Amino acid sequence: MTLDKYVTFVYVPEGNYNPVTSKYEEPQPTEVEVPCNVSEVSLEVTKELFGVLDTNIIKVRLISPYNSEFSYILYQNSRYDLVSSKLNKIFYLKEVKDG
């Protein structure tokens, strides 16, 4: 397996109220970039595994498990949400469209 691409796991914690300043503080996202192998999942497999045809799903494979919490994943300047995962090493992701 060739690890020729990179994905970024992004974790955005909940913001907190600061009683000293009496203001809500914006959360600071944490980003972790990891090497991976990325491939598109065919429409037939997407229908079989997830029961939908109207979305493109990519499969991301890592060498070692990613066990930290994350909110979403960035790949090629696009945001992806988790559809499914196996052993925290294989992630099926769906692109989040703006609008």
- Count how many domains the chain has: 1
The residue segments making up the domain with residue 30 are 5-14+25-95
pLDDT, position 46: 78
Say if 77 falls within a structural domain: yes
Say if 19 falls within a structural domain: no
CA gap 54, 90 in Å, rounded: 22
Q: Which of 93, 87, 96 is nearest to 5 (CA)?
A: 93
According to DSSP, the residues that pair with 10 across neighbouring strands are: 31, 72
pLDDT in tens, 58-97: 999 999 999 999 999 999 999 999 999 999 999 999 999 8
